[in-house]
């Protein structure tokens, strides 16, 4: 007497997909932090260079002051102050162009993702903006991202319509450069 036994096993895995999503989000956050760390490192190196140059400038002013007397001491103080102000302005410019720009980009990315409420659509839109900004002689991605709320809330997720809207905005910005991207979008 022979028996054929058959067993069917199924595994309902509800853990792997959410874990993969969390891992991707962690990786994206790590990449953002790496970009901000690089920008901070660059700012630190620039600040150190500025500090060294200010030290050299100060040493030069001290030598000149001893050689020329008290009249030049006052002049040197004003020059040192001017150099310090110039160094601070340069450091602020570097900060604005690196860390502040990265923070604005991340903030705009989060806002766009929240408006679209669809990660795939948000990624497609970010790619559309990047491609459009690269191809356009007038538009830049930072201005486009800052003004995206106007189009996303009215047009929604339709990428073809969004691309047409940005094309029209580009032409309007070219007609009236004083208003720029913000005026063209509104």
Per-residue confidence (pLDDT) for residue 23, from 0 to 100? 86
Distance between CA atoms of residues 31 and 14, nearest Å = 27
Distance between CA atoms of residues 173 and 177, nearest Å = 5
Per-residue confidence (pLDDT) for residue 163, from 0 to 100? 85
Q: Can you state the angle between helices 148-155 and 159-175, rounded to 10 degrees? A: 140
Per-residue confidence (pLDDT) for residue 183, from 0 to 100? 63
Can you give the three-state secondary structure of 127-148, one letter per residue? Answer: HHHHHHHHHCCCCCHHHHHHCH
Per-residue confidence (pLDDT) for residue 70, from 0 to 100? 61
Say what the pTM is. 0.46
CB 106 within 8 A of CB 140: no
CB 173 within 8 A of CB 181: yes
> And the tokens for 179?
């208003």
Per run of 10 residues, the mean pLDDT along the chain (length 186 residues) is: 78 79 84 84 85 82 70 68 78 76 80 84 86 84 80 81 84 73 62
How many angstroms separate the Cα of 18 from the Cα of each of 109, 124, 129, 163?
Answer: 22, 22, 29, 32
Per-residue confidence (pLDDT) for residue 74, from 0 to 100? 64
Q: Please, is 27 exposed, middle or buried when counting C-beta atoms within 10 Å of its C-beta (0-12, 13-18, 19+)?
A: exposed
């Amino acid at each position: 007497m022979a028996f054929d036994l058959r067993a069917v096993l199924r595994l309902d895995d509800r853990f792997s997909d959410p874990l993969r999503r969390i891992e991707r989000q962690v990786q994206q956050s790590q990449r953002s932090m790496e970009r901000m760390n690089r920008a901070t490192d660059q700012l630190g190196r620039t600040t150190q260079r500025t500090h060294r140059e200010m030290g050299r400038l100060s040493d030069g002013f001290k030598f000149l002051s001893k050689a020329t007397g008290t009249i030049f001491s006052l002049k040197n103080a004003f020059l040192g102050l001017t150099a310090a102000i110039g160094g601070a302005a340069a450091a602020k410019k570097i900060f604005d162009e690196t860390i502040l720009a990265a923070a604005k980009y991340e903030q705009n990315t989060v806002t766009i993702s929240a408006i679209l409420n669809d990660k795939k659509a948000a990624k497609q839109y970010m790619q559309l903006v990047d491609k459009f900004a690269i191809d356009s002689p007038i538009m830049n991605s930072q201005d486009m991202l800052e003004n995206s709320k106007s189009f996303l809330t009215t047009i929604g997720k339709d990428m073809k319509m969004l691309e047409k809207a940005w094309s029209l905005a580009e032409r309007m910005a070219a007609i009236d450069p004083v208003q720029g991207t913000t005026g063209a979008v509104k």
